[in-house]
């Protein structure tokens, strides 16, 4: 199979003709590698559209688990969101998280958070992660970039040479994209300068965001075992009619 990646829109429909052992290799405009669909210009739109379709039935399953007077409690729903929704939504996030099309999957994640918190659609999406006690999706995706960047700093890693050499915008072959290496270098530099471990970076960023905005109420300290008020309350049984 052959594929080509570029930003020349005039050549969008052009197909490569590559011969190997006297056979023409089939051309694929959107190849899939390790479960990630790649496009000509690396926008990852097709991949995120496919990911949205995977998340929709998972959110529907969560909706069946919830109920006003029966079903799973808020703590159980929160765990289900992390295992059913976020794990799927964050697969290879360090590759595509800087795409402009991540907004395609954010509504599904917000719907899952509304199910766990019992909030209605008028509730601001910015408040849903706080009420559910789950870090925002954008922050979790950035954490994935930092985590892989930290592993790549170890000698022998496939990306070690790319991360340790000086970054240069002129070296980018697709200049309008937002590649992994500069983003990882920036996050690593920030965490090193502020003496923040990779495991604590997301918590630090989240807490700092709420501290800088004192008009909002911080109701959860991540990874401390505490829950927002009301998360541990039992549901009231409606009983027989």
Q: Cα–Cα distance between 74 and 61 in angstroms, integer?
A: 15
Contact 132, 81 (CB under 8 A): yes
Name the domain count of the chain: 1
In a domain, 31, yes or no: no
Helices (H), 66-127: 74-80, 87-89, 93-96, 106-117
In this prediction the pTM is 0.76
Average pLDDT score, the chain: 79
Range in 39-43, 96-100, 142-146, 217-221 the model is least confident about: 217-221
Residue 183 counted as domain residue: yes
Of 86-95, 165-174, 186-195, 219-228, give the range with the top mean pLDDT. Answer: 86-95
Q: Which helix (H) or strand (E) holds 19?
A: strand 19-20
Q: From the CB of residue 132, how many other CB atoms can be counted at a distance below 10 Å?
A: 24
Task: Please say if the pLDDT value at position 13 is more than 70.
Answer: yes
Has residue 34 got a pLDDT over 50? Answer: yes
127 belongs to a structural domain = no
Residue 240 has pLDDT above 50, yes or no: no
pLDDT at 56: 93
Looking at the domain assignment, is residue 154 inside a domain?
A: yes
Strand partners, 24: 19
Please give the average per-residue pLDDT across 106-114, as a whole number: 91
pLDDT at 108: 93
Range picked from 37-51, 164-178, 224-238 for highest mean pLDDT: 37-51
Q: What range defines the domain where residue 156 resides?
A: 145-164+177-208
Phi and psi at residue 57, in whole multiples of 5°? Answer: -65, -25
Q: Does residue 214 form part of some domain?
A: no
- Within a domain: 92: no
pLDDT higher than threshold 70 for residue 163: yes
Alpha-carbon torsion angle 91, 93, 94, 100, nearest 10: 160
Phi-psi region of 235 (alpha: psi -120 to 50; beta: other; left: phi over 0): beta
- The whole-number pLDDT of residue 172 equals 59
- d(C-alpha 47, C-alpha 52), whole Å: 9
Q: Residues with Cβ < 8 Å from 74, sequence gap 6 or more?
A: 116, 117, 118, 230, 231, 232, 233
Residue with tokens 């270098």: 185
């Amino acid at each position: 199979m052959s594929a080509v990646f570029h930003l020349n829109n005039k050549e969008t429909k052009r197909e490569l003709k590559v011969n190997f052992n006297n056979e023409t290799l089939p051309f694929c405009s959107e190849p899939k590698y390790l479960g990630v669909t790649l496009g000509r210009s690396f926008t990852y739109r097709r991949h995120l559209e496919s990911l949205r379709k995977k998340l929709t039935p998972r959110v529907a399953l969560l909706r069946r688990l919830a109920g006003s007077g029966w079903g799973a409690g808020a703590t159980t729903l929160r765990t289900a969101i992390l295992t059913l929704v976020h794990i799927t939504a964050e697969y290879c996030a360090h590759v595509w998280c800087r795409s402009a099309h991540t907004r395609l999957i954010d509504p599904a994640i917000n719907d899952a958070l509304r199910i766990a918190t019992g909030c209605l659609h008028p509730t601001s999406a910015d408040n849903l992660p706080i009420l559910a006690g789950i870090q925002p999706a954008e922050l979790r995706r950035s954490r994935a970039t930092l985590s892989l960047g930290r592993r790549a700093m170890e000698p022998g890693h496939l990306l070690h040479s790319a991360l340790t050499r000086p970054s240069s915008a002129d070296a980018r072959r697709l200049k309008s994209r937002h590649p992994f290496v500069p983003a990882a270098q920036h996050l690593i530099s920030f965490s090193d300068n502020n003496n923040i471990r990779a495991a604590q970076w997301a918590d630090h960023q989240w807490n700092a965001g709420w501290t800088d905005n004192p008009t909002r109420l911080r109701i959860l300290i991540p990874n401390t075992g505490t829950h927002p008020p009301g998360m541990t309350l039992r549901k009231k049984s409606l009983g027989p009619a």
